[in-house]
Amino acid sequence: MLCLWALPGHAQNLVTNGTFDSGTSSPWWDYAAEPAVQTVEVLDGRLCSTITEGGEHTWDVILGLSDLGVVAGQHYHIAFSASADAERTIRFKVGLGDVPYTDYFIRNADLTPTPQLFDVTYLNLREDPAAHFQFHIGGSPGSVCVDDIVLEPVAAPAVPEYVSPSLTGHALKDYASTIMIGTAVDTPTFLSSPIHNSILTGEFSSITPANAMKMNIIQPVQGVFDWVDADALLAFAEQNGMEFHGHPLIWHTQAPSWLEDEEFDRDTMIQIMYDHIDALVGRYAGRIPFWDVVNEAIEQTDGVYDYRHTFWYDRIGPDFIDLAFQRAHEADPNAQLVYNDYKIELMGHPKADRVFELVSDMVSRGIPIHQVGLQNHWFITPDGDTADLPDPAMLRANMARYAEIGIGVQVTEFDVRIGRPLDDAKTQAQAWVFGEVLQACIEAPNCNRLTVWGLSDFDSWVPGTFPEYDFAHIFDANFVAKPAYHTMTQVLSALQPDPPPIEGTGGAVGTDTATGTDTGTGAAAAGSEDGDESSSGCSACSVGPAAVRGGASGAFGLLGLLGLLLRRRGRS
């Protein structure tokens, strides 16, 4: 029951009764959503819950504290000790207590019967005089005890200077004018881990928000937008000369309940869709060069791949896709518009073929679509089966057929999850996939961006979504580079690296992202007569990232194209 926060040098703890030495639990409260049941008492100076009936989710059983005043732009130190009767994962969060529940910071904690100390610092983005601190403890019966709880404002931690682990002498981002390597980033993690941030800026040239732009977060109440997370990520990208990939505008998952629950008619749904697109694309026009306009709209039903039945499709009809792209194009005519999906990477896969048909049809009708995002979520099963891993020839063929219809491709959400337990053969197979997909993208003239879906196993989305899987990323949970990372840098080393950035430009390729100079110059590069992106469809076929970002107002031209080809040929 160490009184950490009473030591000299510590700012005032916002938590009252964090040690429970008085024998009472007040002002802590407890909550259990039916059918969950918990009994809470102070035992040996610890706050303990016995959950006799679990809930559906971890957040169905909560121990919480209300009315904590937190300040935007302030770092907070969170510490506590916790144990459970058996191994158990709980979550702790600082956030809004009422609907729409908003997490300012949320993290898993793996408990064991021996009390363990948890200790983190996070940067708070929101001003809130009545924030909550909560432990989400209950998807199943069992008992959990917590103690020595601290939430205190502290100075910003120092960001360590980055030394790339690359054995080739070049970080992933050093080839950005040929291929930009990006990563998905979640606000609580990226803002709260100095190591994460130093790898982020040291290795990557682009950011995709993992969740910050999803509709449940950004429009939690109809017509009310919460820009805090998205603005912070974009500002970070701009300050560090990184590109930003908008993700996603129209999707059926992670949607707010006001949208899912009410049976809006077609006209109202179209208006809701337009309002959402106008708000996001309009707000960031000129600053976000790529948008995933429609995400995951095709799926298998009764053995046939066709439109997925979602509230967008069911209430509007199949033209919701055309309408979304047209509206996004109006909101920012210079943005490159992407259809993004999974299992569409390999030619010959029925879903990939169906999406190609969909996109070809859109192109032939002049719908402003410029790129297809090949998500590239692959897996190795727990028993080591690698049958799901991609056939590089089919990946290349798929990329090539999009080039033929004037459509660019990107690898948008690359990861290779591994079924537990981890072993060397699985790690090597994973590294092979990272190398092959990167190589295919480098070789394809219409592919010059590859984004990995999460920087490290520390901040992975995988275990929460696929409980039998983990280890999906190129840095491990201690931020150590894995064989997959080294394979990628090895593949890249056959290319000509970019010249070092000029001091003061701060970026991977030293161009001005803040002014949003992406003008979709591909039409010119691909020799389009009129430069009309929507009808030529070739706005992303043959353009290197630096050319796109340099944005010499539509004039990348033949010299630039020649330069790009020479760079690609620079492979030994």
Among all residues, which ones are annotated catalytic?
Answer: 296, 413
CA 102 to chain centroid, in Å, comes to 17
Counting contacts by CB under 6 A, is residue 291 touching ligand XIL?
no
Which letter does DSSP use for residue 212 in this model? T
User: Measured from the CB atom, is 145 or 213 closer to ligand XIL?
Assistant: 213
Binding mask 294-313 for ligand XIL (x = CB under 6 A): -x------------------
For 85, the token pair is 């009767």
Question: Least distance from C-beta 355 to ligand XIL, angstroms?
Answer: 14
The least CB distance from residue 341 to ligand XIL, in Å, is 8
**Site map 408..437 versus ligand XIL, x via CB under 6 A:** -----x------------------------
Residue closest to ligand XIL, measured at CB: 461
Side chain identity at residue 467, one-letter code: P
Judged by beta carbon, residue 42 or residue 106, the one nearer ligand XIL is 106
Structure tokens that stand for 512 in this block: 């001005």
Tokens for 45? 């100076």
216 vs 536, beta carbon nearer ligand XIL? 216
The residue (of 56 and 67) whose beta carbon lies closer to ligand XIL is 56
- Residue 114, exposed/middle/buried by CB under 10 A (0-12, 13-18, 19+)? exposed
Query: What crossing angle do the helices spanning 320-331 and 350-364 adopt, rounded to 10°?
Result: 60
Ranges within 213-272 binding ligand XIL (CB under 6 A): 248
Of 133, 284, 434, 461, which one interacts with ligand XIL (CB under 6 A)? 461
- Closest to ligand XIL by CB, 36 or 217: 217
According to DSSP, residue 515 is labeled T
CB 459 within 8 A of CB 192: no
**Cα 73 to the center of its chain, rounded Å:** 22
Give dist(CA 460, CA 463) in Å, integer: 7
Helical spans, DSSP H, in 444-572: 462-465, 483-492, 522-525, 533-536, 545-550, 557-569
Least distance (Å) from ligand XIL to the CB of residue 158?
28
Contacts of 560 (CB under 8 A, 6+ apart): 525, 543, 544, 547
- Whose Cβ is closer to ligand XIL: residue 216's or residue 448's? 216
DSSP 453: S
CB of 515: closest distance to ligand XIL in angstroms? 28
Q: Which residues from 182-211 bind ligand XIL, rule CB under 6 A?
A: 210-211
CB of residue 251 to ligand XIL, shortest distance in Å: 7
Q: How far is the CB of 182 from ligand XIL (least distance, A)?
A: 14
C-alpha dihedral, 179 to 185 to 189 to 194, nearest 10°: 20
Assess contact for 418 and 430: CB atoms under 8 A.
Answer: yes
Q: Which run of H or of E encompasses 415?
A: strand 408-419
Strands 290-295, 336-341: parallel, antiparallel or unpaired by DSSP?
Answer: parallel
Residue closer to ligand XIL, measured from CB, 295 or 511: 295
Distance in Å, CB of 375 to ligand XIL, minimum? 6
Q: Using CB under 6 A, list all residues that contact ligand XIL.
A: 210-211, 248, 295, 413, 461, 464
